[in-house]
Amino acid sequence: MSIAEAEVTDEKVDDAFIVRALKQADMNALRLALYHQTDDAALADIEVISIPVRGGAFEARVIHRDHHDIIREKAAAYLSDPKRQIKPPPSVEQAKPLMELFQGRTIDDAAFAFGYEDLGFADVPRDRPWKKEIDPKKLDNFEVTIIGTGFSGIAAAVQLDRLGIKSTMIDRYDDIGGTWHVNDYPEARVDVPTFLYQYKFEHDYPWKSFFATQPELLDYINHTVDTYGLRERIELSTEIKSARWDEANKKWTLELQKGDDIETRQSDVVISAAGLFTTPKLPDIEGIENFTGEMFHTTNWNHDFDPTGKKIAVIGTGSTGTQLMPALAEKAQELTVYQRTPNWITPIDGYHAKLTPEQQWLFDTMPGYRNWFIYQQHVGDIWVQNFHEMDPEWIAKGGRVNEKNEKLRENLTAYIHKKVGDKDGLFDKLIPEYAPLARRLVIDNGFYDALMRNNVTLESDGIEEITATGITSVGGTSREFDLIVLGAGFHVSRYFWPVEYQGRDGITLEQLWNKDGARAHKSITLPGFPNFFVIYGPNAQARAGSFHSWVEILSRYIADAIATMIEKDASTIEVKKDAFEGYNKRMDEAMRHILWESEGQGGYYVNEYGRSGVNMPWTMYEFYQMVREIEPDDFTIA
C-alpha cells in the first residue's frame, strides 16, 4: 500500500495531508533526516544560522525561512514515492558529521558521545555489555534490590536485565510511578519538553502532548514496565525500614514492612532510586494543627473535595503552587495565594499543545525525523548552562552573575510587567531579589493571568498563624477558608529518609554527613557502604541535559560497577575514602564559580548548611565524561 493510501486516525494521507504535516515540521530535523536518506548535496549546503531569543538571553540554531519551501518540496517528493528506499540509521562514523551539519559548527568528542546516545539510533543507546564471558550460574543467587518504581528505578532494572542480573523493585506506595504517582494535583504536567523527558531506549512512544500531563506520564511508565517485563518483580505497598551491611555474608540485610507484617531479607546489592521529591515539606506555621476545614499537601490531593464556590488558600508559589493555582481560581469563590518568596516565572510557547495527527504521522513515517527532532531539543537545552557561571569582570562592573543572566532577568521582568502591569502593586511583589536560575525556574501555567482575576488575591506579608477557620497574615489581615492547599515543596536534603542505613563497622549516614550535609562520590557511591548505589543522589542534578538521559547514564555507571565486581570474582565494591574526599574537594572548588550558593540561599538548591547539595558545578559534558564508566582505582573490589 502506498503512503497516499495509508490512514492516520480518521484521516486519509493524501497530498494535502502531507503538505500540512510538512508545514508543522521542524525544518532542521527534517533536513537532516532527508539528507541521510537521499544524499542530496543541496540539503547539506543549507546554512544553519544563530538567532537571539528572549532579548539575547538565549540562542536558537535554525534554518532561515528562505529555505523552508525547498526542504518541504524535497521531503514531499520523498514521502510520496512508493518506491523510496529506506537506509538504516547512521553509523557512529556517519553520525558526527551529520550532528555538526545539524548545528552548523564543530563539536568535540564529549558532545558527540552524549549527543549520539541521545539521538537514540542504537537499539540500546547506553548499554554496558559483559566484558568477559560469565557463567550464568554465578548469577543464579545474585540479587539486587531497587528501592523505588519511578523513572530512575525502572532505568536501573532495565539496565540490569540486559546483563541477566536479577532485581526486585520495592515501593512504599500502592502503585508504580514514584513522583508521578503521588503528584496528581490539578494541571500536573512536566515543565520540560516531553521528547526530552523520555528514555532514549524507549523513545517511539505515541505522546499526546508536547509537555506531557501526569496521566500521560503514568501511561508511559506502565507501558515501559510492561514492555520490559518488570511488573512481576515489583513489590508495592512495601516500605523499607532499615538496611544494615552484613560483613560476614557480604550482603545487605533489609527490614521491610508490608502492612502489619515485618519481613527480613538479604540482598547482594541495594540501589536507592527514591529520588529527591519523596518527603513532603509541611510549612512550620503556628496553629497549623488547629484548622478545622479541609487541608492537604499537593502530594496527597483529595479528589473527593469539590473546590467549586469555596474559599481557598494556596500556600507556596513554587513550581507546584503556580501550576495548580489557575485551575483552582476558575472554580473558587475566592482564592488567596500566600507567597513567601517570589519566583522567576517564564512563558513557554505551546505549553498545552497537543500533537496533531500530521505531526505523529511524520514521526512515524519519515525515517530518522523523530531522532533529529529529539536532538534539536537536546541542543536547545544545553544553552541554559550559560546563565550559571559567575563572571568576575561583569560583577566588578556592578553586575550580578554574568551578562547573559542579566539579559534573562531583564526579559523575565518585562514579561511580568506585561502580564500584570501596575495593578494593586502586584508587579513589585512578584519581582525576586535573587538572580534567575539561582532557584528553579518556574513555567507560567497561567499564574499571572489568574492573579488578574477579581476573585484572586496575592498575599506577600507572610503568615502569622493558622486559626481554626483560616489564616492571619503578618500584617494582621485575617481570612476564612474552606480549603488550605499546602504547596511548600519537599525536604530534598533528606536523602533516603526515613530509612535507617548502617554500613560497614556500623557507620551511619548521619555520621558520614554530619559536617555539611549529604555528599557522595559522583553522586552515586558512599565510603563505608559497599554494594550500595544511589540514582540522583547528592549533587546529582546536572546543569543541563534530559533527566532520563542522566538516569540512563547513572544506571549504566552502576551496572558497570556491579558487572566489574562480578567479572573480578569479587563479592564487594566500595568507593575509597580518599576518592570520595578528593571528588568532593574538587566539586566544592568548582562550585565557588557557580551562582547557586551566592544567589540561591533559602531555596531547595542550597541545604541548611549553606552548601549547594542538589546541583553539580560541572557542565553536562564534563560530568558525562566522569560517569561514562567507573575508574577501578577509585574502588576497593574484594
C-alpha to C-alpha distance for 112 and 621, rounded to whole angstroms = 10
Q: What is the pLDDT of residue 604?
A: 86
Burial class (CB in 10 A: 0-12, 13-18, 19+), 588: middle
Reference 487, options 276, 188, 194, 197; nearest CA is 188
What is the end-to-end Cα distance of the chain in Å, rounded?
60
Q: What is the DSSP track for 203-263?
A: -----SBSS-BHHHHHHHHHHHHHHTT-GGGEE-S-EEEEEEEETTTTEEEEEEEETTEEE
Whether the CB-CB separation of 534 and 525 falls below 8 Å is answered with yes
Reference 63, options 9, 95, 17, 27; nearest CA is 27
Residue with cell 501555567: 445
Q: What is the pLDDT of residue 492?
A: 63
Cell reading at 90: 547512521
Residues of the chain with pLDDT under 70: 1-10, 54-57, 277-278, 490-493
Q: What are the chain's domains?
A: 3-122+351-384 (no CATH), 137-277+492-637 (3.50.50.60), 288-344+392-486 (3.50.50.60)
What region, left, alpha or beta, does residue 66 occupy, with left being phi > 0 and alpha being psi -120 to 50 degrees? Answer: alpha
Whether the CB-CB separation of 170 and 146 falls below 8 Å is answered with yes
Helix (H, G, I), strand (E, B) or coil at 513: coil
Strand partners, 438: none
Helix (H, G, I), strand (E, B) or coil at 240: strand
Per-residue DSSP letter, 424: G
What's at 531, amino acid-wise? Answer: N
Query: What's the whole-model pTM score?
Result: 0.95
Strand partners, 267: 252
Reference 294, options 480, 472, 133; nearest CA is 480
C-alpha to C-alpha distance for 483 and 471, rounded to whole angstroms = 11
What region, left, alpha or beta, does residue 472 occupy, with left being phi > 0 and alpha being psi -120 to 50 degrees? Answer: beta
Run of H or E residues at 501: strand 500-502
Q: What is the pLDDT of residue 5?
A: 37
Strand duo 470-473 + 442-443: pairing: unpaired
